[in-house]
């Protein structure tokens, strides 16, 4: 029987098990934040930022950061239509409106020109989501933000390992948010991180993250404002510490897997994959195939072909504006066009060379089959 190839799973070694066991056995009382603080420090060092707050999710990090920036009812926040709903949901939590704009056809990330066109007096922030490890045009977006006095936020949930002109994804904007979900390059099972170089913003989010209790408050159980409960656990952070000690290898393996796919499909016409533009490094969290319209290959063709070989293939994100909670924005033509002819490929760290060949062979067979029928 052919073994199943999953689209993703974490890389867990004895180091993660050792640290998590220590946290479970000893990480209480005075040591209850030990791994959390260590995790934050390791991540700051990796990213090259001044401040970091470990959270229970990237969604929570975004929620608190937006709240600290004063986003509220009647405000608008611009982001790409091609995203997971977690990038938009925190905007709605605060009573603000997500404004969905189209993506660039090569990076599948926020189109700066569409951002310019969408700015109104109500625009309170711009969220740049680095999709699948691909990088947004941060220089242009930061310039737009500065011209209009609008903060640019980086949702780098999928971009650990991605570097934009010498700066790691998530370290450029007003603040960055990361995910350590079980599918991500670095995982804590569930978890996230808020990062910034802004001291005042850090203090505000730190207070919000602890039910509104300010760091310098001497009164016990005395919140200075209504805050949130988005803390990560010490046990989760222990796993994160082990992962960060291995982060270079984890990123390197993701890049190896992507290169293997690229070599395997290089002879097939009508295919594009995650780009790596000049001056950047792509962390290649999720290798993605997009077939040109001329090939006639669809998402349904791809899923059926992979399913028949016991291989998981994940669909490209639907446009957020096509989902039931939101109103359609049909002018976002690229966002609506690409998902119907794209698929995410398996990319977990311990994929074998034979596994990778199995995936590539499905793509080759499907492409040959469709070509012969045209």
237, 300: one domain: no
> What pLDDT score does 373 carry?
63
239, 255: one domain: no
272, 286: one domain: yes
Rounded to the nearest 10 degrees, how much is the dihedral formed by the CA atoms of 77, 79, 84, 85? 20
Structural domain contains residue 31: yes
> What pLDDT score does 1 carry?
60
CA atoms in the 13 A half-sphere facing the CB of 238: 23
Last residue of a domain, one of 218, 245, 272: 245
Structural domain contains residue 19: yes
231, 274: one domain: no
212, 238: one domain: yes
How many residues are there in the chain? 374
CB contact at 8 A, 310 and 2: yes
188, 285: one domain: no
Structural domain contains residue 166: yes
Last residue of a domain, one of 245, 277, 298: 245
Gap between the Cα atoms of 315 and 285, Å rounded:
15
In this structure, the number of other CB atoms found within 10 A of the CB of residue 96 comes to 20
DSSP state of 4: P
241, 262: one domain: no
Structural domain contains residue 45: yes
Last residue of a domain, one of 245, 276, 305: 245
Gap between the Cα atoms of 264 and 127, Å rounded:
34
Report the CATH number at residue 146: 3.40.640.10
User: Mean pLDDT per segment of 10 residues, for the chain of length 374 residues?
Assistant: 88 98 97 97 98 98 98 98 98 98 98 98 98 98 98 98 98 98 97 98 97 92 95 98 98 98 95 97 98 94 95 96 98 98 96 97 90 62
Bridge partner residues of 129 (DSSP): 155
End-to-end, the C-alpha distance of the chain in Å comes to 33
Structural domain contains residue 6: no
How many domains is the chain built from? 2
Structural domain contains residue 1: no
Domain membership of residue 285 as a residue range: 247-373
211, 314: one domain: no
184, 252: one domain: no
Structural domain contains residue 116: yes
In this structure, the number of other CB atoms found within 10 A of the CB of residue 110 comes to 30
Report the CATH number at residue 359: 3.90.1150.10
292, 316: one domain: yes
Structural domain contains residue 7: no
184, 264: one domain: no
Q: pTM value?
A: 0.96
235, 89: one domain: yes
> What pLDDT score does 17 carry?
98
């Amino acid at each position: 029987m052919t073994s199943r190839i999953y689209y993703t799973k974490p890389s867990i070694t004895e180091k993660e098990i050792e640290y998590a066991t220590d946290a479970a056995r000893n990480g209480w009382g005075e040591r209850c934040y030990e791994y959390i603080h260590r995790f934050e420090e390791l991540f700051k060092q990796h990213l090259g930022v001044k401040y970091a707050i470990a959270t229970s999710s990237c969604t929570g990090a975004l929620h608190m950061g937006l709240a600290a920036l004063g986003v509220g009812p009647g405000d608008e926040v611009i982001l790409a239509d091609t995203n997971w709903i977690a990038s938009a949901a925190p905007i709605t939590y605060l009573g603000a409106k997500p404004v969905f704009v189209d993506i660039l056809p090569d990076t599948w990330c926020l189109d700066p020109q569409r951002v310019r066109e969408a700015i109104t007096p109500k625009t309170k922030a711009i969220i740049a989501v680095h999709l699948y490890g691909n990088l947004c045009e941060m220089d242009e977006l930061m310039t737009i933000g500065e011209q209009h006095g609008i903060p640019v936020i980086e949702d780098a949930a999928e971009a650990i390992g991605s570097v934009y002109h010498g700066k790691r994804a998530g370290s450029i904007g007003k603040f960055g948010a990361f995910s350590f979900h079980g599918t991500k390059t670095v995982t804590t099972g569930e978890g996230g991180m808020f990062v910034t170089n802004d001291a005042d913003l850090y203090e505000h989010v730190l207070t919000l993250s602890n039910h509104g209790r300010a760091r310098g408050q001497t009164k016990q159980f005395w919140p200075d404002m209504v805050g949130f409960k988005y803390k990560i656990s010490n046990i989760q952070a222990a796993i994160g510490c082990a992962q960060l000690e291995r982060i270079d290898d984890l990123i390197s393996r993701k890049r190896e897997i992507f290169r293997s796919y690229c070599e395997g499909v290089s002879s097939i016409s009508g295919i594009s994959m995650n780009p790596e533009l000049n001056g950047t490094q792509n962390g290649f969290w999720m290798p993605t195939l997009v077939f040109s319209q001329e090939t006639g290959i669809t998402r349904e063709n791809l899923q059926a072909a992979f399913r028949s070989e016991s291989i998981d293939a994940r669909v490209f994100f639907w446009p957020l504006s096509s989902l039931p909670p939101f109103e359609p924005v049909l002018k976002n033509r690229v966002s609506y066009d690409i998902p119907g002819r794209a698929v995410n490929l398996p990319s977990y760290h311990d994929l074998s060379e034979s596994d990778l060949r199995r995936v590539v062979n499905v793509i080759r067979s499907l492409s040959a089959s469709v070509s012969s029928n045209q």
